[in-house]
Amino acid sequence: MRCAFCKTTIKTHDRILRSDTCPRCGRDLHCCKQCKFYDTHAYNECREVSAERVVDKERANFCEYFLPRGSNRESVNPVTEARRALEALFKK
């Protein structure tokens, strides 16, 4: 991913946690401005319609739909993911 504030390239292998910060500028990584769905022209500045509104787009938040900018993963619905995990567990 690339930091939206200082443009530093950051290598990430796991999920980005709420407490993670950019090693160069120290800004929060799990914030709206670092997210794939951030769009200043969209309603609430977010293209993920199911996401809750976040007022401060530059501070860390608990959004479940967060995907780092540049990520090739698709939006993940937590309910669908949980159902898929349960079905795999019980071999449905």
The full set of domain ranges for the chain reads: 1-92
pLDDT on residue 87:
82
Write the CB contacts of 71 (distance below 8 Å, at least 6 apart in sequence). Answer: 1, 36
Average pLDDT over residues 6-34: 92
How many angstroms separate the CA atoms of 77 and 75, rounded?
7
pLDDT band at 80 (very low <50, low <70, confident <90, very high): confident
- pLDDT over 90 percentage in the chain: 65
pLDDT on residue 71:
67
pLDDT at 59 over 80: yes
Residue 29 is inside which H or E element, if any? none
Q: Closest Cα partner for 69 from 34, 44, 41, 27?
A: 34
Q: What does pLDDT average to over the chain? A: 87
pTM here is: 0.73
